[in-house]
């Protein structure tokens, strides 16, 4: 029930009493209702569902998750190398 796609807010304006934003999805733009995200600013990323921003994206959370996964991968590779008796690899 949830086709919600991340897009970047590139403009804001009020229309018919509603806070609206122009959101860019990689080269396609659409007017999106920003009423659910009053704290939204130009440059923020939002999840857009049926023309409404239902949330702003938490950049720090996103980065933390991906970094943790990448580090996990490096640790595993390091362990695998040690087990195989290879010399320690360079920091990537």
Catalog residues that contact other proteins under the rule CB under 8 A.
Answer: 1-8, 16-18, 24-31, 33, 35-38, 45, 47-52, 54-55, 57-59, 61-62, 64-66, 69-70, 72-73, 76
Cα angle 83-86-91, degrees, rounded to a multiple of 5 = 100
Sheet holding 5-15: strands in order across?
18-24, 5-15, 45-49, 52-56
CB of 1 to other proteins, least distance (A): 4
Which of 17, 87 has the CB closer to other proteins? Answer: 17
- Are residues 43 and 57 in contact, defined by beta-carbon separation less than 8 angstroms? no
Which of 23, 87 has the CB closer to other proteins? Answer: 23
């Amino acid at each position: 029930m949830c086709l919600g796609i991340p897009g970047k807010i590139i403009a804001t304006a009020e229309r018919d009493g509603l806070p609206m934003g122009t959101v860019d999805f990689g080269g396609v733009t659409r007017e999106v209702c920003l009423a659910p995200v009053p704290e939204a600013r130009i440059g923020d990323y939002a999840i857009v569902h049926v023309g409404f921003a239902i949330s702003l994206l938490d950049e720090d959370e996103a980065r933390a998750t991906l970094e943790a996964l990448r580090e996990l991968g490096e640790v595993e590779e390091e362990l695998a190398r040690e087990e195989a008796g290879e010399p320690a690899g360079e920091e990537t």
